[in-house]
Structure 1
Amino acid sequence: MGNHVIILAAGQGSRMASDTAKVLHEVAGFPLIAHALRAAEALAPERVIVVTGHEAAAVEAAVAEHAPEATCVRQTEQLGTGHAVLQAEGALAGAEGQAFVLYGDTPFIRAETLEAMAEAPADFAVLGFEGDPAARYGRLVTSGDVLERIVEWKDADETTRAGTLMNSGVLRGDVQAMLQLLREVGNDNAAGEYYLTDLPALAASRGLTTHVVRCDEAETLGINTRAELARAEAAFQARARAEALETGVTLVAPDTVHFALDTHIGRDALIEQHVVFGPGVTVESGARIRAFSHLEGAHVSRGATVGPYARLRPGAELSEDVHVGNFVEVKNALIAEGAKVNHLSYIGDADIGERTNIGAGTITCNYDGVFKHRTVVGARAFIGSNTMLVAPVNVGDEAVTGSGSVITADVAAGDLALGRARQVAKPGLGRKMMERLRALKAKG
């Protein structure tokens, strides 16, 4: 018997004032649904079922991208959380073990909290937190750690609303018992919906045990508005910065560095001011990312330096001791150990050999309007400033290109390639031309 996870992601999220499904809005470079899927990984689940509804096709595409092993089921009518969980019944046919109910718009549940729920000594466990009595959350009515019932805010009397133990919505119980009890849930309540929150009281009435697991309110942060989305982003960034500092990363100005959900930075790396990490970045120990750089889908090896004002795009692979400098863009390119691309260059769809120097203003011309083509430059080559490398093209080891060259054919190892028009001088013509232009300007 194993764990199974049901993630509810069918809601419209009307308070977001958006045509985009709520769970597709992003925190830390990833949609909220990806955060929920990542949280589910802590349980090593046998099955992950995502219940979709509003903008179902788009949500299902995101699920397929971030968790291709997950199964999506649709809730065509939004009749409440209990009804939503029942939509997973077919996908859970024959399942044994524990089912966890998570939410696609609650991105910060910690692995330790889910593990505590899994180990709770009861048939059913509900996650609660201490909150402001004015908050419009459902209330957990308990006797010690035993949960007696959950009362939704709309259905609560003043005495119940005065309680401070709030319902997060996260729940765990035997998968088949959960489905059986949910079939018995009615909709005789203020909202006319089938509440998942009715389940603990039903369980208790059948002689099953229920338990409350407590967590910090910050873990249960749900996102329903743009303001809450912004607060969630700020909360994630504060946590990511603190974790980076604790693990030995130097952040020169922590509040100016922005991380993605999956950013990995090694010990003794140094990150300067105003650096942005998009998804898919790994920076190894001892690397330095200089100010105002933007990295996405890139790997930076030990001892490499990036920036300032550099952009690494997906597929950028920087080997040890590489230097990528100011206003350089690298995309889908391998830059080998010790190579330098220091100024004002674009290196895309390319392989740059070890110890090669790429001069300022060099461009790999990789796109012909239909297809992308690759540029290969060997080891210890010297590419002169303002060289256009028109792909597909190969430049051999220790070859040299003259500044201002347009290289359209392969260059053999050790050769010097020049591809520019012959300079012609016209005596005195420069002065005469400028005098004529100034005269025309004076006439107005």
Structure 2
Amino acid sequence: MTKTTISEVYQYVDQEVTIGAWLANKRSSGKIAFLQLRDGTGFIQGVVVKSEVEEEVFQLAKAITQESSIYVTGKVQKDERSPFGYELSVNKIEVIQQAVDYPITPKKHGTEFLMDHRHLWLRARRQHAMMKIRNEIIRATYEFFNEHGFVKVDPPILTGSAPEGTTELFHTKYFDEDAFLSQSGQLYMEAAAMALGKVFSFGPTFRAEKSKTRRHLIEFWMIEPEMAFCKFEDSLVIQEEYVSYLVQAVLKNCNLELQTLGRDISKLEKIKAPFPRITYDDAIKRLHEKGFNDIEWGDDFGAPHETVIAESFDKPVFITHYPTSLKPFYMEPHPERDEVVLCADLIAPEGYGEIIGGSERIYDYDLLKKRIQEHGLDVDAYKWYLDLRQYGAVPHSGFGLGLERTVAWISGVEHVRETIPFPRLLNRLYP
């Protein structure tokens, strides 16, 4: 007997195969049982016709409980009515383990209940679709940067200093020293770029920020490229090409998952470089025109501001040249305006907010040291970082893309908590 997976059944049309699966759901009449099967690679309907199988097989099909594990054997058939395109005409069932009282029934459940059962909720068709899209974005990320000559580098998760101060970091003891969980690998990636030219990292980051918004997680994953001999404008081009690449990869390889989520694909089809760009100054003017008269030059943007700005565009939009006072110490000042820095946030359309933050980095030793002191940071803790400006300093730029926000936007889901397998939220460390 040929063993295969649901994703591979297209190779065996009109042939008999065996699939190891779980019963996601079922319905039956007196003569036919319809089994919704999943195996991790996808979902398929198994049809058991009473007149075509032994009586014990049909009774077993009616008796199997939700999320029981089984082996099913049957003939693969094309089915134009199915989004997947195939179904299985079942003639044999072997129960591996019969599940009892599976807690997530087909009825509607509250979010807190589902989050308490996240280890099981991941099995649902919608959650499965989001994890597949997340995986495709990760796959496409590696492909894009490898094709563009970047080297993957892994920065440490435990650090003795922070790129943006320590007020929102998780503190721990590192034997007899203070240490923090990383909020960004950027500083280390700058060191790597001075050795390898173009590098990127992909790993977990942590923010001890007491936020409960739909855009925030305590633990999230960041893709952080850093490029030597790269000016601010050069970095923007890489960013828009990268984001376009991700969207097109999902459109190409996750069409079924996007359908499952009910995503409006026409909006994603418009996401191709180049992206529009406006300055912070322009953004302030736009907000005043939209009635946000309480925001002044020098104020940071919140979610409502970003959403209103993004509504004018059907692609992500760069907001460039923020005030120096709003940004971290390492950003290169504008050559003609010391009050703003060479930075940009990339704001996704449809209200999903910032998905990328990036800048050109200061490469002048004296200026960087001054900025560290002005931010009240310990110069000794950043000695190694200052060394990069003493031994062959070059213009360099980089950015960070938040994976979960990007998955949420491309998937069209409302809250980032569904875009990571086991979310860490302000009041959630379980499961």
Please tell me the TM-score bracket, short chain as reference.
Answer: under 0.3
Provide the TM-score with structure 2 as the length reference: 0.25
Could you say which structure has the higher helix fraction?
Answer: 2
Question: Higher RCO, 1 or 2 (CA under 8 Å, sep at least 6)?
Answer: 2
